[in-house]
Each structure stands twice: as C-alpha cells, then as structure tokens.
Structure 1
Amino acid sequence: MSVDRTPRERVDVCVVGAGPAGSLLAHRLAEAGYAVVVLEAGPRFDPERRIEQMGDALRPTHGRPEIWEMGGARDAFTSSGDRHYPLNHARVKGVGGSTLHWQGMVMRLHERDFSVATREGVGADWPIDYDELRPYYAAAEDALGVAGASDNPFAPPRAESHPMPAFKPSHSDSIFAQACESLGIGTHSVPNARNSEPYDDRAACVGYGTCQPVCPSGAKYDATSHVAKAEEAGTRVIDRVPVQRLEHDAAGERVTAAVYATPEGETYRQRARQFVVAAGGVETPRLLLLSQSSQYPDGLANSSGLVGRYFTEHLFAGTGGRIEQATRQHHVGFNTTESHQFYDDPAAGTDEGIPSAGADADDLGAIKLEFHNYAGPAPVEAALADGGWGDGLRERVADAYGNHLAVGALIEQTPRRENYVGLDPARTDDHGNPVPEIHWGLDARTERTIRRANEIQEAILSELDAERTWQVGPENTGPASHHMGTTRMGSDPAASVVNGQGQSHDLSNLWLAGSSVFPTGGAMNPTLTIAALALRTAAHIQKQV
C-alpha cells in the first residue's frame, strides 16, 4: 500500500525523531490541541514479528544490529580517536527508536550530577537542578510505567511511590546480598520500565529473558506506546523520511522548514511554527552540522562552536566468575538488584572489608554497581552455538550453564571537548550526505574510576569464593551506547547550544530534546532523564506557541 508522505499545512510543531523524547513531546503537545507532525528516518516495525525477531536474536548466526535492520549505507559512520566506537551495535532507526531494544532500567540522576563542576571541579554544571526536574521525573515514571520501590537509601529524595511494585530479586541476587552484607555494601531494588503487573494496556512481564535486543511480549516500555497515543490525539507520524537539513529565514532567527526525503526519491519541506530535533546524541548534532548556510557556515545553532562537542558515554566495568552453587543464570533478563553506595563518594571504603580508594572523591567519577543475573551463556544460546546432538550436547550445556555470576558497573565519563560527533566528507550515506564521525577516547579520571569499580567487584567475588573467569577493565572496556552531551544545555550562549528549557540560543523556534543536551551524564541510565526533560520542554513550547 502506498503511504502519503507529503507535508501537512498549518503545523504548529514539527518533531524530528520518533524515539522516547520525540514521541512523549509530540503526545503532550497534540493532547493540548496543537497540530504536530513527526518525521522519522526509519521504518515502522511490525510488533507481530517480535517472536520471530527473538528467535533470530537467539541464533549465533544473527548479529545484534541485524535484528533491527541496522547497517549499510543508510547507517554508515566513521570511528576515529583513541578507541573504536561501535555505533550501530546498539541503536535503532525506526518508530520507537532505541527503546525498541533497550534494557529498560530507569533511574533518576542524583543531586550531585547537576553540579559536578561546582562540587568536583570537572565538567559543567547544569542550568537546572534536581528540584526543578523532580516533578517531571514523577510524570515520566507514570508515562513509561515504572516498577520500583522506595528502598534505595542512596537515591535522591522523592515523594511519590512508583506506579508499579518492584520485581522480586533474582536467585543470584540473594547470593550477592549475603556477600554484600558481609562487606558492608548496601543493596536495593532496580526501577524498571517494564510491567510487574498489567499497566497502560500492556501485560505483565512473562520472562522471555531476551530483553535486549527484543521484548516479544511488549511488557517492557517502548516509545511506540506514545507514538500511538500521539496519533490518537491527532499527530501525524511519517516514517522512512530522513530529514536532510533544516532551513531558516533571511534573518537567521527562525527555522522555516525541515527538508526530508522519501523512499520514492521525492524531497519535501515541512513548514511549522516550532521545530524540535529529537534524533539522539549522534544524529541530532549531525543534522545541525548538515544544515549549514551562509549565515551559519559551521552549522545551525552552532555560534558556540559546541555542536557535536563533548560527546560523552557511560563505560562498562565488570568482573565475572563461577561458584560452587546454582545461580540460575538467565532466569531473568534484566537487573533486579543494584548498589548506588559508591555513586556520590566512589573513594569511600567500608569498615567490613572494602578499602578506601586512596584518592579524593574528586579524582573519581560516579559508580553504579549492577548485580548481573544473566552472566554466562544461556542454555538455548549454548545449545545453538554447540551444534551437536543428544547426550553429549546435554552434558556440554549443563557444564556451561548454571553457576555463573558477575558484578557489573556503569561508570561516569568525564566530558571532554576533544570527544565529538562530526562529519566525514570522505564517506557519504545513501542520500549523499557526509556520515557521522565519532571521535572518542578515555581520560585518566574515567580509567581510574573503572579500576576502582573492578576493586570493589573483586572483593565481592572473593567473598563468594568465586573462580574469577573474566574482567572488563580500562584496557578492554566498551561504551554502554548512551550518547550524551553533543548539544549541551547551559545559561551562557558562548558555552552551550541550548538553554535550560532545550531552546536554541541562536534560533528562537528551534528546540532540542534528548540526551544530547546533557552537560554531564553521571552513571545512571539516561532514558528517564530524557523523558523528564522532554516533558519539561513540551511545557515550555506550549508557552511559546
């Protein structure tokens, strides 16, 4: 069937990107009565295919990007800098964005995260504080549907209970809990954007265990939920229309149109009163850089020269092994227990067995400890990779499965100007545009933080008398695929791209939504903050329109 991808007349707000930020914002504005159009570069995926996608994900012959059709000229990129950046490993272009395959953990940033420069002398302070974002955090938890409990003594203050009760700790969590208690480490539940009971017309989680890269049951939140709500409220969502550039008026003060291409080779201009770019931490700065003009030769909204700069990630640190008891690995496909004890003060030790780091807290970034109940091979994965049959296969699967566990961690990366998303004119995509160049590396502070996390992890496994079988440290760490910081917010137009509401300093009707506006990233999974900021930006756009 042919799809009408022609532009709409009389549009109040044009949103670029149908991920969590774009869909939540579009829904709020449409619900308030505004005419909204959403332009999405990728396709609509059929939810009926998710069982098939799960089967593909379990087979060793299918790479993770392939499950969500990532790759090829459309998604080409260049990686430069000290470390290779695997951009396509964990992103999705399509209606729903990367929430189609995310892990689903949703934490609020701590109060210290909004003022790291003042407190610790690194990075940049946010132009807003936790209290300003706090009501939007609560609204975001209701919108996404978060299962959680108020049992985290290290979390920032909150007045509201979570919409759903927390998931019960996994079997391996109970093993970790004993070791952590002996070492003086406090543990607590993990807030998850997946249903522990029916919520918002979605069923409760049934435990497929393939949360990444696909939730077949739909119990885990993804942004298609708010895309559907936005469409019910009157929003028009057009898929497979990558925006090529933004155009502005003669004065260079307002965006006038988003120029987009269709699968049929047509090019159209969507005009609107307000424009929101919510295309993620890589494609958002890329679009602004592609939108250069005689008045903006360095790209749109880039008078500060910071569009694409301060590309920031979360790093993974982990230590795993085997113990002499059953861990029931992979019975749960997501984290149910964490510890934020070393978040605000990663250098602190405990009287029961964790030594202090021998460094000032300012010399280390935040650490979020995660207790992985999905360490080691899953039985289906082991069987499919083995390729054998019969009793021999059963014995090999039994030997590979059942007593693995691991302690992971998300590590804060110190923002640095030399980490950036730029354009590579030597390589073009399927529309002839320069592909994004990811220039990325680690600094000494981040490497020290990873080593500190490894020390704590080693102490926990030692307390369990575990045989350590692997470790991810500074030498072999990788990114968590949380793209942050490339269009940072701030009060000073010379040192930021947008203000505290997400509005461009340069063009009054251009707004940016998503993790690209984070001045710092802390060590918390970013999606809840993305959602909270999007709802806050929607409220400010309503005042403008």
Structure 2
Amino acid sequence: MLNDLGGQGAISRAADFIVIGAGTVGLPISVLLARKTGATVICLETGGLRQEEDTHPLNEVVQQGMFYKGASHGRFRCLGGTSMRWGGALIPFQNSDLCNAHWPISLDELTPFIDDVERLFSLEPGPYSDVSFPFELGGTHVNRLAKWPEFRKRNVAALLDADVAAAANLQVWLNAHVVKIKTQTEGVRLEAVSPNGDRLAISGRKLIVAAGAIETTRLALLIDRQNNGAVSALTSALGHNFTDHISAEVAEIVASETALLNKIVGFRFGAAGSMRNIRFELAPQAEARRHLPPGFCHIGFEVEKPGGFDVLREIFRNVQRRKSPPPRVIFDLIANTPWLARAMWWRLVNKRLLFPAHSRLIVHAVVEQLPSPNNRITLSDTCCDRFGLPLAEINWRLSKEDKENVIETSELFRRTWRTSKFASLGVWKSIEPQQIWANIDNAEGIFHPTGSTRMGACPADGVVDKNLNLFGVANVQLLATSVLPTGGGANPTMMLLLLGMRCVNQHAAGSTPPKA
C-alpha cells in the first residue's frame, strides 16, 4: 500500500521490518521481505512520487577537497530513487576483485542470488561474458558483458507498482524524512517528518537503511550520535574510505572496419528490449593485479552533431521516468528517418545498436579509486537541512597514485589492442598524457560511491559485518554501495542487489510463519 505522510497529522505505526529508502534496492527488498517472510514491512521514502528536477534540496552537502558531483546529480529522492535515471548496467564483480581486497564475504556466497536479480529485471540468463568472442585478448584482459534491463523496467517504482499495491503487509510512506532513530535490544524506534510537519512514529523489530551510499552514511553517523556514540566506540571506520570509480577518456579509435567493430563492441539487443554491452577487465591471472587495482576499458561514442540516436535516447529516458516525450520528438524522428531506418535494420539483423552518425569512438578507462581514510563523510558542524539535522560533509580527493593507475590501465589495454586482432579493425590514437591528466584532475566521480560504511570481519576492519549488521547497535543493518569495501572492476549495483537478495533470504530462513 502506498501512503503519503503529508496531511496525516501525528500518527504511529508498528512493523516487523522498517526500511529507509524506496529506491533501487530499498523498494525491491521491501516487497520481497513482505512476500517471503509474511512479516509486516514499512518502507519510508523521504521524497514524493517523482522528482522532476535534476537535483533535490535535501541532497545538499558541504563539499571539502575536490568537488564531488555525485553528491547532488547522482542522487534522487522519490519512489524508485536513482532507478528513475539509472543507466542500468548490471554485472557482478570478478572473484579476484574481492579476494585480493580481503572482503569478509566471498563471491560464492552471492552468486546464488544472481538468478533472483535477473528475474526481477527480466534479464536474459547466461554468462557475463561473450563466450564466442572472435579472437584472443592475451593474458592481460578478459571480455565481460554487463546486462541492462529494458528502459521501462529500470525504474523499480514502475516495475513493482502492482506488487506494492497488492501487498497487504507492506506500507510505503512518501514524504517521510527520518529525523530520529533510537535502538534497543528488543527493536528500534523511529520518527519521520513530512515537509508540512506531519509526524510518523514507528516501532519495529529490525531496521534496514537502504538510502543510497551518502545518505546511508549520514544516517549511520546520526544513529551513532543519537545512541551515545555506540558505533564510533567500536570502530573508527565509520564515514572513512569514501571512494568512487575514476573514469577518463584515454584514446580515440579510428575505425578501418567500422561494421565489424560495431558488431564486436556495440550495444547488443536481447529479448524483450534488454541490452548488453562489452568491456575489457583485467584478467584474474593478470600480472598487473599484483600492483594495480581492478578496472576496465570500454569503447563508447561521442556524438559530434545531434541526430537520431539522441532522439531515441530522449524517448526511452522519458519512458524510464514514467513521462510522455515532448511533441517535438515526432518531428525529430521524421528528420532523422535515414539513420533510424539503418539502425532498425542493424537491430533486427545484427542485434546491435548502430554507431550514431557524426560520432567518434572513444576509449574510456575506469579504475577503482584506492581507499583512503582521509576521504570521508562526516556530519557538518555548521550546516543543517530543513529539518534541523546536520548535512553530510564530504572530503574527497584523488591521489597521484589514483591518476597513475588510470594511465597504466589505459596503457595495458593499448598493448592488448595493438597485439590482438583489434589492431586490424581500427587505429588506436592515444590522447596526449597531459590531456589525460587534465581529464582526471577535472573528474567528479561517476556516481559509484563505496566504502564509507564498509563491511569488515570485525569493528577494526569495518562498520558492518558480513551480514550487514551495524557494529555497536542492535537490530540495524545497512544496505547501500557504501558497504562495499572496494569499488571493484565493474559497476557496483549488481553487488548491492545481490547483498539485498541475500539479506532477504537470511530473514526468510529465520522467520516464523505469520499468525493466522
């Protein structure tokens, strides 16, 4: 059931599970907890039904160090959260990404839940690599394929609309901003406030904070403050080691066999509108893994002149946001009929997205930022949100070693390109090193925040244990990309969803049947 706290006055509710955040992972686990455990679930979303603007006032932060753009532009407060704008790439990390970084959990503990994620988003089953890739890449790189849901299934609010409405034991509350969290041995007590001052008091057996990396970290810091420093008394890691992936354009490919290259590296269409794209990650056995953090290279395109691709992208992004495209799109489609006709032929025959007209092929290197305790999220001493709670203060910087790792990742893939059959498909033209350095210096992150509430085997190593339980307080779990100890060599959303599915499974396994 969907509710809005606005206009409710002062009310109280009780539930077995309370979930903060109705976004990419919060809404799915709320639905699944209600379905699989039979328990009562309350999901609190600080935003409303939709967020029309690119930024939200409650995402204001205090910036220290380098500017971190993901603090404002990578976050959305509404039903569905960031999934209303999310690109959609889903791919698990490689096992070597975890074991080399001493994660307290193995990939084998998460892979059983890949099928659950694929069913949720109607993804094609199968490996996350191209097993029929046409040539060898040597021992340094492996090809890997991310899976992308079709646009209308990327927004979990649209995907789970009927499930939310049908679940009698699930309440989703909009415009419910959590201002107080008190933990006790027997459960938790929360207070949420609407923009109009309506108040919702909730008691629950278990709290799961799934509000995105930055907000989950801020709430964990508030839980620590509002519970007499119970977390910080055990661990010094809370808020520290805030990282992102670093991405930079490193080369241009001048294609000599454009059609064949398009077939190899172009976006691939699957069943029911799903997509896949290929990237080239460090191989598990690569010698470079001894000193280089995980990363990958992928080939994208830079459109020099707007055309049919831009029209299609606008249409599908509106579908994802549950909006109608503007009327002018009809005229734009007519104006770009020649490219659209060719693109349709490519989709039907080659099952690929045709490279846009007037575009350049660009190689991007994406590298895990090295964790540093100096990169951190704290609570501001001077600035508060409209509800009187301290803003998150982000102190984030790239190190010289981070920049050097991007350069080396690029150089490794350049060698693979020039020593493989890629060389016959196009010429690698490196971007000048000083320009790459400038690109890195101007990097603002790519909205893959991790690390600030990291998992650890014990409080000396992290903020939550391998089962996401917050050290120092009872009955609280954190479920955001901030619990990932490192950024890995791929987009982090799949790992977050796998952790969420595992969390639901653990609660279902330990639950008792609901009373008749």
TM bracket (short chain): 0.7 to 0.9
From the superposition, tell whether residues 411 and 181 of structure 1 become closer, same or farther in structure 2 (CA, over 3 Å): same
Task: Name the structure 2 match of 1:415.
Answer: 371
Partner of residue 24 from structure 1, selected from 18, 28, 41 = 28
1:412 Cα deviation from its structure 2 partner = 1.2
Task: Name the structure 2 match of 1:246.
Answer: 181
Task: Name the structure 1 match of 2:99.
Answer: 115
Is the 2:450–2:482 Cα contact (8 Å) retained in structure 1? yes
Is the 2:13–2:201 Cα contact (8 Å) retained in structure 1? no
CA distance in 2, matches of 1:434, 1:104: 32
Is the 2:19–2:209 Cα contact (8 Å) retained in structure 1? yes
Is the 1:194–1:221 Cα contact (8 Å) retained in structure 2? no
1:505 Cα deviation from its structure 2 partner = 2.5
> Do residues 379 (structure 1) and 379 (structure 2) align?
no
1:318 Cα deviation from its structure 2 partner = 2.2
1:230 Cα deviation from its structure 2 partner = 3.8
* Unmatched runs of 5 consecutive residues or more in structure 1: 47-66, 118-124, 155-168, 170-176, 196-214, 349-359, 384-392
SS, match of residue 218 in structure 2: helix
Q: What is the correspondence of 1:18-167 to structure 2 with a 5 Å cutoff? A: 18-31=22-35, 32-45=37-50, 68-72=53-57, 74-82=58-66, 84-117=68-101, 125-147=102-124, 149-150=126-127, 152=129
CA distance in 2, matches of 1:316, 1:148: 29
Q: Deviations over 1:354-394 (max 9, x none)?
A: xxxxxx532211122222145555427999xxxxxxxxx99
CA distance in 2, matches of 1:192, 1:501: 26
Task: Name the structure 2 match of 1:260.
Answer: 192
TM-score computed with the length of structure 1 as normaliser: 0.71
> Do residues 222 (structure 1) and 156 (structure 2) align?
yes
Amino acid at match of 1:344: P
CA distance in 1, matches of 2:306, 2:124: 25
Partner of residue 364 from structure 1, selected from 279, 292, 313 = 292
Q: Deviations over 1:79-125 (max 9, x none)?
A: 212554541122211111111111111111111122224xxxxxxx2
Partner of residue 166 from structure 2, selected from 206, 209, 232 = 232
From the superposition, tell whether residues 186 and 223 of structure 1 become closer, same or farther in structure 2 (CA, over 3 Å): farther
Amino acid at match of 1:536: R
From the superposition, tell whether residues 344 and 134 of structure 1 become closer, same or farther in structure 2 (CA, over 3 Å): same
From the superposition, tell whether residues 511 and 106 of structure 1 become closer, same or farther in structure 2 (CA, over 3 Å): same
> Do residues 532 (structure 1) and 503 (structure 2) align?
no
Is the 1:421–1:436 Cα contact (8 Å) retained in structure 2? yes
Q: Report the identity percentage.
A: 22
Is the 2:22–2:44 Cα contact (8 Å) retained in structure 1? yes
1:255 Cα deviation from its structure 2 partner = 4.9
1:486 Cα deviation from its structure 2 partner = 1.4
SS, match of residue 196 in structure 2: coil
1:453 Cα deviation from its structure 2 partner = 2.5
**Relative contact order, CA 8 A, sep 6+: which one is greater?**
2
Is the 2:32–2:504 Cα contact (8 Å) retained in structure 1? yes
> Do residues 190 (structure 1) and 145 (structure 2) align?
yes
Q: What is the correspondence of 1:94-493 to structure 2 with a 5 Å cutoff? A: 94-117=78-101, 125-147=102-124, 149-150=126-127, 152=129, 188=143, 190-195=145-150, 215=151, 218-226=152-160, 228-234=162-168, 235-249=170-184, 253=185, 255-293=187-225, 296-297=228-229, 303-321=234-252, 323=254, 336-344=276-284, 361-373=289-301, 376-379=304-307, 401-456=357-412, 458=414, 460=417, 463=423, 464-465=426-427, 472-473=436-437, 474-493=440-459
Q: Deviations over 1:1-46 (max 9, x none)?
A: 9664865533111110011221122111110311111111111129
Is the 1:70–1:88 Cα contact (8 Å) retained in structure 2? yes
CA distance in 2, matches of 1:324, 1:532: 38
For the aligned residue pairs, the C-alpha RMSD in angstroms reads 3.7
CA distance in 2, matches of 1:481, 1:272: 32
1:287 Cα deviation from its structure 2 partner = 1.2
Amino acid at match of 1:439: N
CA distance in 1, matches of 2:294, 2:302: 24
CA distance in 2, matches of 1:437, 1:188: 38
Is the 1:112–1:344 Cα contact (8 Å) retained in structure 2? yes
1:504 Cα deviation from its structure 2 partner = 1.9
Is the 1:42–1:239 Cα contact (8 Å) retained in structure 2? yes
Is the 2:110–2:498 Cα contact (8 Å) retained in structure 1? yes
1:525 Cα deviation from its structure 2 partner = 0.7
Is the 2:83–2:154 Cα contact (8 Å) retained in structure 1? no
Amino acid at match of 2:503: T
Task: Name the structure 1 match of 2:488.
Answer: 522
SS, match of residue 486 in structure 2: coil
> Do residues 14 (structure 1) and 18 (structure 2) align?
yes
CA distance in 1, matches of 2:223, 2:128: 47
From the superposition, tell whether residues 5 and 336 of structure 1 become closer, same or farther in structure 2 (CA, over 3 Å): farther
Is the 2:61–2:71 Cα contact (8 Å) retained in structure 1? yes
CA distance in 1, matches of 2:8, 2:159: 22
CA distance in 2, matches of 1:148, 1:191: 12
Amino acid at match of 1:323: V
Is the 1:371–1:408 Cα contact (8 Å) retained in structure 2? yes
1:533 Cα deviation from its structure 2 partner = 0.4
Amino acid at match of 2:411: E
From the superposition, tell whether residues 372 and 70 of structure 1 become closer, same or farther in structure 2 (CA, over 3 Å): same
Is the 1:323–1:403 Cα contact (8 Å) retained in structure 2? no
SS, match of residue 291 in structure 1: helix
1:469 Cα deviation from its structure 2 partner = 6.7
Is the 1:45–1:94 Cα contact (8 Å) retained in structure 2? yes
CA distance in 1, matches of 2:492, 2:372: 19
1:332 Cα deviation from its structure 2 partner = 6.0
From the superposition, tell whether residues 254 and 523 of structure 1 become closer, same or farther in structure 2 (CA, over 3 Å): farther
1:529 Cα deviation from its structure 2 partner = 1.0
Greater Cα offset, 276-285 or 506-515: 506-515
Amino acid at match of 2:290: D
SS, match of residue 296 in structure 2: strand
Aligned residues: 445
Is the 2:26–2:210 Cα contact (8 Å) retained in structure 1? yes
From the superposition, tell whether residues 503 and 544 of structure 1 become closer, same or farther in structure 2 (CA, over 3 Å): farther
Task: Name the structure 2 match of 1:159.
Answer: none
TM-score computed with the length of structure 2 as normaliser: 0.75
Q: Deviations over 1:46-105 (max 9, x none)?
A: 9xxxxxxxxxxxxxxxxxxxx544143x22111212554541122211111111111111
